[in-house]
């Protein structure tokens, strides 16, 4: 990404650009040391000037002066994928998860690998905005010991392929726990590992990425929307109480 902004330059830097631009019209190749001598400044000054203007280095700036194509670095399409997800966001799933949370006294989060780290963050966030018991657990044994009939177990996974949740589900159901799975990518094998699946996105990440390499961006967008709904609801309830006084 290149953002060329001449408005950032001071008068001296504008003079440097004008000199180099004129020189480049008759000289295709300019070494950065030659540019410094031509402009009566240090190599460091030239380097800082081109970066301030928006280029990665002097070579890229020289390509710009010569009208050459600037090589593009191949990047992921994660931003486009997330944008598609936001445009296609399903508000109904926010309300449905909120209803489940409202109907349980204890919320237990569980995931493997990076998804566990997400679970721990959501534990922190939800504790601020609800008086329910919120726990993120790090192993299958803890999940089994902490669930009961008043518990909603929320399993987090991007693909569901890193490790099976079958044992966790079986042990939790022995305790009459309700189990939902928040999954990003569609996987029919997951339907037998929970009571209900919240499939977040129709836009999968590259198949070349391993499960632990895939981003958890969609998790954060979804859960932050749930949390924002909680905040709005709590403020509305407080406002109603104040109006009733």
**Shared domain check, 84 and 60:** no
130-186 pLDDT, tens per residue? Answer: 889 999 999 988 898 899 999 999 999 999 988 899 999 999 999 999 999 999 988
**Shared domain check, 204 and 96:** yes
Q: Give me the half-sphere count of Cα atoms (radius 13 Å) on the Cβ side of residue 92.
A: 3
| Cβ(164)–Cβ(110) below 8 Å | no
Quick one: pLDDT band at residue 70, thresholds 50, 70, 90? low
Number of domains composing the chain = 2
Alpha-carbon distance of 181 to 191, in angstroms, equals 9
Alpha-carbon distance of 169 to 154, in angstroms, equals 11
**Shared domain check, 96 and 27:** no
**Shared domain check, 105 and 193:** yes
Per the structure, the complete domain to which residue 164 belongs is given by 78-244
The pLDDT mean for the chain works out to: 88
Burial of 144 (0-12, 13-18, 19+ CB in 10 A): middle
User: How far, CA to CA in Å, does 112 sit from each of 83, 161, 195, 212, 231?
Assistant: 26, 10, 19, 9, 28
Task: Give CA angle at 219 (217, 225), nearest 5°.
Answer: 105
CATH number of the domain residue 35 falls in:
1.10.10
82-114 pLDDT, tens per residue? Answer: 998 999 898 989 999 999 999 999 999 999 999
In a domain, 73, yes or no: no
Q: Which pLDDT score is estimated for 1? A: 46
User: Quick one: angle between helices 11-24 and 58-65, nearest 10?
Assistant: 60
**Shared domain check, 97 and 15:** no
Q: Are strands 133-137 and 106-111 parallel, antiparallel or unpaired?
A: parallel
**Shared domain check, 50 and 17:** yes
Q: Which pLDDT score is estimated for 220? A: 95
CATH number of the domain residue 90 falls in:
3.40.50.10490
**Shared domain check, 136 and 83:** yes
Backbone φ, ψ for residue 37 (5° rounding): -65, -45
């Amino acid at each position: 990404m290149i953002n060329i902004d001449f408005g950032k330059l001071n008068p001296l830097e504008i003079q440097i650009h004008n000199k180099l631009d004129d020189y480049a019209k008759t000289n295709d190749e300019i070494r950065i040391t030659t540019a410094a001598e031509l402009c009566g400044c240090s190599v460091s000054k030239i380097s800082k000037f081109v970066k301030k203007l928006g280029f990665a280095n002097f070579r890229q700036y020289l390509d710009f002066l010569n009208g050459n194509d600037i090589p593009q670095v191949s990047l992921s399409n994660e931003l486009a994928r997330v944008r598609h997800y936001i445009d296609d966001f399903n508000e109904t799933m926010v309300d449905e998860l909120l209803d489940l949370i409202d109907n349980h006294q204890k919320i237990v989060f569980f995931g493997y690998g990076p998804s566990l780290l997400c679970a721990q963050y959501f534990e922190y966030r939800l504790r601020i905005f609800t008086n329910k018991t919120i726990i993120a657990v790090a192993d299958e044994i803890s999940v089994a010991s902490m669930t009961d009939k008043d518990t909603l177990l929320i399993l987090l996974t991007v693909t569901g392929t890193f490790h099976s949740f079958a044992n966790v589900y079986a042990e939790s159901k022995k305790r009459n726990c309700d189990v939902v799975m928040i999954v990003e990518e569609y996987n029919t094998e997951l339907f037998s590992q929970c009571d209900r699946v919240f499939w977040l996105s129709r836009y999968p990440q590259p198949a070349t990425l391993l499960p632990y390499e895939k981003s958890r961006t969609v998790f954060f967008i979804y859960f932050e929307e749930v949390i924002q709904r909680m905040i709005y609801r709590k403020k509305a309830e407080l406002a109603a109480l104040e109006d009733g006084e």
